[in-house]
Amino acid sequence: MKLNESTFFVLPAVIVLLLVVVFPLLYSVYVSLYNYDLLLPSPNFIGLGNYLEALGDSRFIASLIRTGELVIMCVTVQYLLGLLLALSLYYHVGRFRGLIVALLSIPPMIPPVVIGYMGRLIFHPVASPVNYLLEVVHIPAKPLWHTSAQTSLLTIFLLDTWQWTPFMMLLLLSGLMAIPQEYLESVRIDGASPWQEVRHVVLPLLKTVSVVAILFRALDILRIFDIIYVLTYGGPGTSSEVVSFYIYLTSFNYWRIGYGAALSWLLTIILSLLAMIYLKYVVKSF
Amino acid sequence: MSVRRLLTVIACSIIIALLASSSFNWALAQKPYEGVRITVLVHSGHQAVPWYKYAKYIKERYGIELVVVEAPPEELFTKALLGIRSKPAKYDIIQFNSAFVADLAPYLLPLDDYIIKTPGEGGVAFGDILPCFREYQDMWGGKIYALTIDGDIFFLYYRADLFENPIERKAFKAKYGHDLEPPKTWGEFLEIAEFFTRKKGEKLCGQTLQRDFYGAAFQLKPPRVFYWYLFVYWPYIAAATKGEPHYFDPKTMKPLISTEAAIKALEVLKKATKYMPPGVLGWEWDETFTAFMKEGCVAMTIHWPDEGKRAPELAPLPIPNPPKPKLGVTLPPGVIGPDGKLYRYTMIDAAWVAGIAKNSAHPDAAWAVLSFICSPRWDLERVMAPTDFMPDTGHDPYRYSHIYSPRFLTLKPWFKVMIKAYEEAALHGFPLLKMPGAYEYLEKLATYVHAYLSGQIPDAKGALDKATAEWEKITNRFGRESQRRAYLAMWGLGA
């Protein structure tokens, strides 16, 4: 390789990247091979011991499954609702589109901690406005929402969907706006119905944006933490304990830094595999 | 100049020099640490207020520049541990939760000698601190590693206006066959909680209730739920063993949290939740305080001293013509053992204490600061807050001189209701676990207790068996023998 002027210009950025990104990653691999525990005197090399322990950790496995459930629920519903909203805004709302988009952009801008505290008020089992609305429409059920093991994950799903559906809508709307008008005009001239237009022209052209939107949201939900910390602390019991929260508990409440790093790497490996499968098979068949 | 005159000038010079030097020494004695900088790591927010407030007095008295570093409670332990391990220590003084003393002790300076060497006004009057705080917050392995700065302890609060109502007393006696009194046992607690749980529209004190009313409310959101389990667990374990309660068998370090008595305790707690507001499993401090104090819709609760400190805020009962609100305070209930003895405990919360880093570059100056902050004169100001002098600190009383202070009781006369409860609590206080991994043990206990209370795990034994298995794993990870020694150290039996 020939060193020239440009190398020196790139070098500072590369060094920063190595220090800020690559070093912590490699260090976390190193740490994951030790029983590095802040409360124990000195860490010992244990090889893959942490990884093997994780594979037998029923709480970790359960939190992974729960996270998967949450990702599937959130991404599916948020994508469908976001698409519906984006199509409605694209086809039916003309003058007020800007205003509606601005209003719908508010929830994603609210910090998740605030959403968690709002959730405590909105889903308060005694003074819940949601339960009041259920009563108004004569639905007798009074769910205990985040304070019940049966509905805690559902409550988190509802809050996340409220917050992030507009984000999905924005991405899809931007994709819609980018579709050349000529395509739509030509299918209309050919006599396509609105449904056929959406099915055969709009959705295929939204493919790239959809892939990005779904991937973004899925990765984001995998990191969900603040709402759970504020609203349920993983409970009742472990009913809303997702994998990111369990890793937090392990690393920063039990101080098992090595084991926490191993859990994080296992999660990364699983995610990478799933992302590969998603991109290779799901996206291709779209 | 004559010889005589010369001698006079020399003598005067010597006298002046001596005077100047002694006044210089006097000035030095007044500010013995002039120019020294002491860094203190404290809980952010209101707990940091007194450190800032006292910084100028410390500067005036000792010449010490106090640097206050704040950290949120969830980061405090990590920062403290890493900060005092370094040489010299990054922080001279750290505020920490006394549950972590076992992990911090190797890096903390034992304060025994300082306390002995500093009697009188400059000292901390260690014997004045209530015994429960002295023994369970400040000491570990027989040595003093910290000084209490927040006297967190628990009481059972009840609506005395309700308990004294003749209609209710008569109805209670008719139903249960004995007088309505503050509960001494968990059995009585369940009876009273059941008795007072009523729906809106039913009668309370002979009048129509304007909202649902509940027998009790606890703060049952994880991870703190374990506190309220332990209130029931301790007396049941003690009654079963006819001795002091334990978390482990001190000989084998086998957990006692899934014994028959422990299972019974968990079942009692679950039964009590039947008489609590819906959603109580997600309640934190604010919901509990609001329901009991602000909404007046709960008959009993077990909580920190805040309710007692704020007794005038007690809301009237939710009926059209309520009696004047009146707060009652006593110890949490206990259990009568087969020996006929009442086993009763309250919790000495593993609350905030402060210690000095062993690696501090200026340990004597650090002691000067700590002993100033924790001297009876100045810590009274902290625990009386909020006052005109001191904004809210979140610190609760922890000395005899606090609870009997004429100034305190003049300023907050309603606090008199707490004195007897404090006296009893000083004798019946029981500590949280204080050994390596303490938080992990208790958090895992909380997880499975909560799983049972919420119905995620259907039986108490199943839940506690799982918690026991987790406790065994933790003990094995730290080493059974070293944990056994640490557990004994918690009781002052050598570190």
pLDDT for the residue A142? 84
Instruction: Kindly list the residues from chain B whose CB atom is less than 8 angstroms away from the CB atom of residue A150.
Output: 455
Q: Which residue, A232, A135, A158, is CA-closest to B454? A: A232
d(CA A13, CA A6): 12
Question: A86: which residues sit within 8 A by CB, 6+ positions away?
Answer: A169, A170, A172, A173, A175, A176
Nearest Cβ partner for A39 among B103, B277, B450 = B103
How many CA atoms lie less than 13 Å away from A284 in the CB half-sphere? 7
- Do B407 and B448 belong together in one domain? no
Q: Is B71 part of any domain?
A: yes
- Do B141 and B194 belong together in one domain? no
Q: Is B2 part of any domain?
A: no
Structure confidence by residue, pLDDT tens digits, A38-81: 888 788 999 999 999 999 999 999 999 999 999 999 999 999 99
Q: Is B85 part of any domain?
A: yes
CATH architecture of A57-255: Orthogonal Bundle (1.10)
Provide the β-strand partners of residue B67.
B39
d(CA B151, CA B395): 7
User: Which residue, B328, B348, B368, sits at the end of a domain?
Assistant: B348
Q: Are B358 and B249 in contact (CB under 8 A)?
A: no
User: Could you tell me whether strands B342-343 and B207-208 are parallel, antiparallel, or unpaired per DSSP bridges?
Assistant: unpaired
- Do B282 and B176 belong together in one domain? yes
Q: Is B20 part of any domain?
A: no
CB–CB contact B221 A252 (8 Å) = no
d(CA B341, CA B436): 33
Best residue in B211, B285, B454 for a mutation probing chain A (most A CBs within 10 Å): B454
* Residue A144 Cα, gap to closest chain B Cα (Å): 6
Q: Are B145 and B152 in contact (CB under 8 A)?
A: no
Domain count across chain B: 3
Q: Is B4 part of any domain?
A: no
Please count the other Cβ atoms lying within 10 Å of the Cβ belonging to residue A165.
Answer: 24
Q: How many residues does chain B have?
A: 495
Residue A86 reports pLDDT greater than 70? yes
Residue A227 reports pLDDT greater than 90? yes
CB–CB contact B440 A254 (8 Å) = yes
Q: Are A227 and A145 in contact (CB under 8 A)?
A: no
- Do B295 and B161 belong together in one domain? yes
d(CA A140, CA A155): 18
- Do B139 and B279 belong together in one domain? no
Sheet of B214-217: strand order equals B214-217, B298-303, B155-159, B327-330
Q: What is the DSSP letter of A198?
A: I
pLDDT for the residue B477? 93
Q: What is the DSSP letter of A34?
A: B
DSSP states of A127-146 as a string? T-HHHHHHHHTT------GG
- Do B110 and B49 belong together in one domain? yes
Give the residue ranges of DSSP H helices in A147-237. 152-177, 181-189, 194-197, 203-205, 207-222, 226-231
Digit-by-digit pLDDT tens for chain B (495 residues) are 566 676 666 665 665 555 555 444 544 456 789 999 999 999 999 999 999 999 999 999 999 999 999 998 878 888 999 899 898 999 999 999 998 898 899 999 999 999 999 887 778 999 999 999 999 999 999 999 999 999 999 999 999 999 999 999 999 999 999 999 999 999 999 999 999 999 999 999 999 999 999 999 999 999 999 999 999 999 999 999 999 999 999 999 999 999 999 999 999 999 999 999 999 999 999 999 999 999 999 999 999 999 998 999 999 999 999 999 999 999 999 999 999 999 999 999 888 999 999 999 999 999 999 999 999 999 999 999 888 899 888 899 999 999 999 999 999 899 898 999 999 988 899 999 999 999 899 999 999 999 999 999 999 999 999 999 999 999 999 999 999 999 999 988 764
User: How confident is residue A285, by pLDDT bands cut at 50, 70 and 90?
Assistant: low
* Residue B437 Cα, gap to closest chain A Cα (Å): 7
CB–CB contact A232 B282 (8 Å) = yes
Whether omega before B386 lies within 30 degrees of 0, making that bond cis, reads yes
Q: Nearest-CA residue of chain A relative to B75?
A: A252
- Do B137 and B181 belong together in one domain? no
Question: A113: which residues sit within 8 A by CB, 6+ positions away?
Answer: A226, A227, A229, A230
Overall average pLDDT of the A219-237 stretch: 93
CB–CB contact B221 A126 (8 Å) = no
Overall average pLDDT of the A120-126 stretch: 88
Q: Which residue, A249, A237, A232, A239, is CA-closest to A119? A: A232
User: Which residue, B286, B318, B348, sits at the end of a domain?
Assistant: B348
pLDDT for the residue B23? 47
User: Which residue, B311, B328, B348, sits at the end of a domain?
Assistant: B348
Q: For position B189, which CATH number holds?
A: 3.40.190.10
3-state DSSP call for residue A256? Answer: strand
Instruction: Kindly list the residues from chain B whose CB atom is less than 8 angstroms away from the CB atom of residue A37.
Output: 477
pLDDT for the residue B27? 47
User: How confident is residue A125, by pLDDT bands cut at 50, 70 and 90?
Assistant: confident
CB–CB contact B280 A148 (8 Å) = no
State in Å, rounded, how far the first CA of chain B is from the last one: 75
Nearest Cβ partner for B455 among A37, A149, A252 = A149
Q: Is B19 part of any domain?
A: no
Q: Which residue, B280, B177, B186, is CA-closest to A125? A: B280
- Do B79 and B126 belong together in one domain? yes
Q: Is B230 part of any domain?
A: yes
Q: Nearest-CA residue of chain A relative to B286?
A: A120
Q: Which long-range contacts (CB under 8 A, 24 or more apart) does B379-388 make?
A: B379/B149, B380/B405, B380/B407, B380/B408, B381/B50, B382/B50, B382/B149, B383/B151, B383/B408, B384/B408, B384/B411, B384/B412, B385/B49, B385/B50, B387/B411
* Residue A223 Cα, gap to closest chain B Cα (Å): 19
d(CA B159, CA B165): 10
Instruction: Kindly list the residues from chain B whose CB atom is less than 8 angstroms away from the CB atom of residue A126.
Output: 212, 277-279
Q: Which residue, A286, A260, A267, is CA-closest to A68? A: A267
Structural domain range at position B220: 155-348
This prediction's pTM: 0.88
Residue appearing with tokens 């507009």: A166
Q: Are B386 and B392 in contact (CB under 8 A)?
A: yes
Q: Is B214 part of any domain?
A: yes
CA B490 to chain centre: 16
- Do B331 and B212 belong together in one domain? yes
Nearest Cβ partner for B282 among A38, A146, A255 = A146
ipTM surpasses cut 0.95: no
* Residue B278 Cα, gap to closest chain A Cα (Å): 6
Q: Is the dihedral of CA A156, A158, A162, A167 positive or negative?
A: positive
- Do B207 and B306 belong together in one domain? yes
Best residue in A34, A36, A38, A39 for a mutation probing chain B (most B CBs within 10 Å): A39
pLDDT for the residue B7? 63
